């Protein structure tokens, strides 16, 4: 229960951090554009509206960036889980091999089936090669 609460807090923090990073990055771009337009002789208000026009629909781009970065971080989490599972299974197989050769053959087969199944699930969960998001 405690673990779940901590995990949920960490997840929320991570999501907030991703959103802040995207916001920061896009705002930096807008400010650089505004600065350029002011240097070209525009008033602050004109520069701001020209920058927004040139940038396009900021909310849409923000949503797209967030969607992609959340998807990437969940793929990374899944990869880590698979890696941990494989390490665990490797450890288990070493222990079985030490106990008995006959049991070890059954064990190795079970592990192979588990690895294949997990890899299949992992590959099916990967994002498409040419993802489109909006």
Partner 1 sequence: MANQRTDLLQGTLELLILNTLARGSMHGYGIVQQIHEVAEDLLKVEDGSLYPALYRMEERGWIKSEWGVSENNRRAKFYKLTRAGQKQLEAERANWNRISKAVTKILQAT
* Binding footprint of partner 1 on the chain (CB under 8 A): 21-22, 24-26, 28-29, 31-33, 35, 54-58, 60-61, 64-65, 68-69, 71-72, 75, 127, 131, 133
In the complex, the smallest distance separating the C-beta of residue 69 from partner 1, rounded to whole angstroms, is 6
In the complex, the smallest distance separating the C-beta of residue 81 from partner 1, rounded to whole angstroms, is 18
Cβ-based neighbours of 34, under 8 Å, separated by 6 or more: 44, 47, 48, 50, 51
In the complex, the smallest distance separating the C-beta of residue 32 from partner 1, rounded to whole angstroms, is 4
Residue 25 or 100 with smaller CB distance to partner 1: 25
In the complex, the smallest distance separating the C-beta of residue 96 from partner 1, rounded to whole angstroms, is 36
| Helices and strands in the chain: count of H runs, count of E runs | 4, 0
Residue 76 or 113 with smaller CB distance to partner 1: 76
Q: Give dist(CA 95, CA 107) in Å, integer.
A: 10
Q: Give dist(CA 84, CA 46) in Å, integer.
A: 55
Residue 13 or 60 with smaller CB distance to partner 1: 60
Residue 64 or 93 with smaller CB distance to partner 1: 64
Distances (CA, A) of 7 to 39, 82, 94: 48, 18, 31
Distances (CA, A) of 81 to 62, 78, 118: 29, 5, 10
């Amino acid at each position: 229960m405690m673990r779940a609460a901590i995990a949920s807090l960490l997840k929320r923090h991570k999501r907030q951090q991703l959103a802040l990073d995207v916001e920061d990055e896009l705002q930096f771009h807008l400010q650089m554009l505004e600065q350029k337009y002011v240097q070209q002789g525009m008033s602050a208000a004109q520069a701001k509206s020209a920058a927004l026009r040139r940038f396009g629909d900021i909310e849409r781009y923000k949503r797209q960036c967030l969607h992609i970065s959340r998807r990437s971080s969940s793929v990374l989490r899944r990869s880590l889980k698979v890696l941990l599972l494989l390490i665990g299974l490797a450890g288990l197989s070493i222990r079985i091999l030490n106990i008995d050769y006959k049991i070890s053959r059954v064990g190795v087969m079970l592990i192979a089936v588990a690895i294949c199944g997990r890899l299949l699930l992992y590959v099916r969960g990967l994002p498409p090669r040419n993802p489109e998001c909006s």
